[in-house]
Amino acid sequence: MYCSLFGHDFQISKKVTQHVREFKCTHCNAQMTTNGQGKLIPLTPKFQEINAVLEQINKKRLKRKSELGDFSI
Ligand SMILES: [Zn+2]
């Protein structure tokens, strides 16, 4: 009810990648995410899945980068 009157109050709940974030409303726990174009869209189970994959890819990439960094020292 609160949100339908005042709108959602989204806070970042997870940083998936540099560009993709997940948001959660502090009042009703509605979840949103940003897609590849940076648009805010509802976080459906499908997008939860996509974000989980993106997160894994992103973590691997970061890990590889740091490994390369260690290697060059
Ligand atoms: Zn809300």
CA of 48 relative to ligand 1 center, distance in Å: 18
CA of 41 relative to ligand 1 center, distance in Å: 14
CA of 10 relative to ligand 1 center, distance in Å: 7
**For residue range 3-29, what is the model confidence (pLDDT) as tens digits?**
999 999 999 999 999 889 999 999 999
> What pLDDT shows up at residue 16?
93
Strand partners, 22: 14, 33
> Among 37, 11, 33, 30, which Cα is nearest to 22's?
33
In whole angstroms, give the CA distance from residue 4 to residue 26: 13
Strand partners, 21: 15
Average of per-residue pLDDT values in the chain: 88
Q: Which domain holds residue 11?
A: 2-72
Count of the separate structural domains present in the chain:
1
Query: In this model, does residue 73 exceed pLDDT 50?
Result: no
CA of 5 relative to ligand 1 center, distance in Å: 10
